[in-house]
Structures are given as structure tokens and as C-alpha cells.
Amino acid sequence: MSPQEIRAGVIDTLLGIAPEVEADQLIAGKALRSQVDLDSMDWLNFILGLHQRFHMDIPEADYAMLTTLDAVVAYLEARLD
């Protein structure tokens, strides 16, 4: 899966949690939670959505690595190979 496909899947998952998000306004290196104002429950739903979409376990210990759009894409890309 290419980084572009992963990014599109991440954004689509995010839009499923926060449909008011303007995908073209996301700043790839800025913290996602602050950009889209996700509370803790929304963030967990986002992680669960990534798990379901990409068919991979994301351990709770790794949540701290998933801070930005770029970080989420890099994390998933490294584990989908």
C-alpha cells in the first residue's frame, strides 16, 4: 500500500469520526487532536477505526507515536510492509 493510499485511508477514517474536518486544511506535521479538536473518546474511536481499516493491532503503548498525520502514516506504512 502506498503512502498516498495510507494517507487517504487515515483521512477517511478521521472524517468518519469528525465529519466537520476540512481534509485539505490539515497540516501534516501539526498535532491532529488539536487541529480537529478530538476528545479522548473520539481519539480512541479514531485509533479503533485505523485498526479496522488497516487490519492491524495498534498497541496502547504506541498511541503516543500517533500525534500528527505524517506520524500516523509513517507508523502504518512501517507496519503494513
Residue 81 has pLDDT above 80, yes or no: no
Angle (CA) 68 70 9, round 5°: 100
Residue 38 confidence (pLDDT) = 87
Domain at 48, CATH number: 1.10.1200.10
User: What's the number of domains the chain is made of?
Assistant: 1
Closest to 21 (Cα-Cα) out of 37, 10, 6, 7: 37
In what helix (H) or strand (E) does residue 74 lie, and over which residues does it extend? Answer: helix 69-80
pTM of the entire predicted model: 0.91
pLDDT in tens, 1-47: 899 999 999 999 999 999 999 999 999 999 998 899 888 999 999 99
Residues 39-72 pLDDT 10s: 899 999 999 999 999 999 999 999 999 999 999 9
Judged by phi (left if over 0) then psi (alpha if -120 to 50, else beta), residue 37 lies in left
Residue type, 60: E
Domain that holds residue 63: 3-80
